């Protein structure tokens, strides 16, 4: 096995620790690091790695949306999502986004190593502890889940929503996305109309609940 890997996490010390641990394993090589979801997507497109190890909570573009874009590009890149959340909703959204593995950030390195080997073999990986939570949640459900209004948003609207929830001003969002201020204002109105939420404070709460940001 000789796999090229990209690390995506907004904490430099976490990336350095992951790099050191991963490269201690034969056949695994970290070729690039990303500090947010936008950079992770760009680096994946540039390098075409076998695997991206992706933090779920990152600024500008979260790990779920970044995963969705990487997998939607038609490449064979695998994605393992790292998260602090064991809640079944986060897990379900990660796999719907196309993730090949879901791992809690406090897992031992041996588990990450196993997850990497598993997904590179074309299989999915889920932390054993999370599996128990998922089964309990499934058995406790009496009604089918209601579709989320979030699914009505376009990819760009989700991106703008996350940045708004992170407290970024309209001009700042426009600069990051290379769009006009007027375009961002249009997106903001569309988001509010679709979600029927008409204040930034409530949008922020909604974004946190949907797992877009931990702010």
Residue 33 tokens read as 């690091």
Dist. CA 155–CA 41, nearest whole Å = 13
Domains 3-140 and 149-209 share a fold: no
Architecture of domain 149-209: Orthogonal Bundle (1.10)
Question: What pLDDT shows up at residue 85?
Answer: 82
User: Which DSSP helix (H) or strand (E) runs through 56?
Assistant: none
Are the beta carbons of 165 and 207 closer than 8 angstroms? yes
Question: What pLDDT shows up at residue 155?
Answer: 84
The dihedral over CA atoms of 60, 64, 70, 74, expressed in degrees to the nearest 10, equals -140
Mapped onto helix, strand or coil, the DSSP state of residue 156 is helix
Homologous superfamily assigned to 3-140: Response regulator (3.40.50.2300)
Ordered per-residue pLDDT tens for the chain, 215 residues = 689 999 999 999 999 999 999 999 999 999 999 999 999 999 999 999 999 999 998 988 999 999 999 998 877 899 999 988 887 788 888 998 999 999 988 877 788 999 999 999 999 999 887 766 666 655 555 444 555 677 788 889 988 999 998 889 999 999 999 999 999 999 999 999 999 898 888 888 888 777 777 65
Angle at CA 212, nearest 5°, toward 96 and 146? Answer: 55
Question: What pLDDT shows up at residue 135?
Answer: 61
DSSP letter string over 60-84?
Answer: SS-HHHHHHHHHHTT---EEEEEES
Residue 8 tokens read as 């995506």
List beta partners, residue 6: 32, 52
pTM to 2 decimal places: 0.75
DSSP letter string over 126-148?
Answer: E-HHHHHHHHHHHHH--SPPPPP
Please report, for the chain, the start and end positions of each structural domain, with discontinuous segments joined by +. 3-140, 149-209
């Amino acid at each position: 096995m000789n796999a090229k890997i990209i690390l995506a996490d907004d904490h430099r010390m976490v990336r350095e620790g992951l790099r050191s641990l991963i490269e201690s394993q034969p056949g695994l090589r970290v070729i690039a690091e990303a500090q947010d979801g936008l950079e992770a997507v760009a680096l994946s497109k540039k390098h075409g790695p076998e695997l991206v190890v992706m933090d779920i909570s990152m600024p500008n573009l979260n790990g779920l949306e970044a995963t969705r874009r990487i997998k939607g590009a038609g490449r064979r890149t695998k994605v393992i999502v790292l998260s602090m959340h064991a809640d079944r909703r986060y897990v379900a959204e990660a796999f719907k986004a196309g993730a090949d593995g879901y791992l809690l950030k406090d897992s031992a390195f041996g588990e990450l190593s196993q997850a990497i080997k598993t997904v590179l073999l074309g299989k999915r990986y889920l932390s054993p502890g999370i599996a128990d939570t998922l089964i309990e949640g499934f058995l406790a459900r009496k009604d089918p889940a209601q579709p989320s209004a979030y699914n009505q948003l376009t990819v760009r609207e989700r991106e703008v929503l996350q940045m708004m929830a992170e407290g970024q001003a309209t001009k700042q969002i426009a600069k990051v996305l290379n769009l006009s201020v007027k375009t961002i204002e249009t997106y903001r109105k569309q988001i509010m109309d679709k979600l029927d939420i008409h204040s930034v404070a409530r949008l922020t709460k909604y974004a946190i609940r949907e797992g877009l940001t931990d702010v």
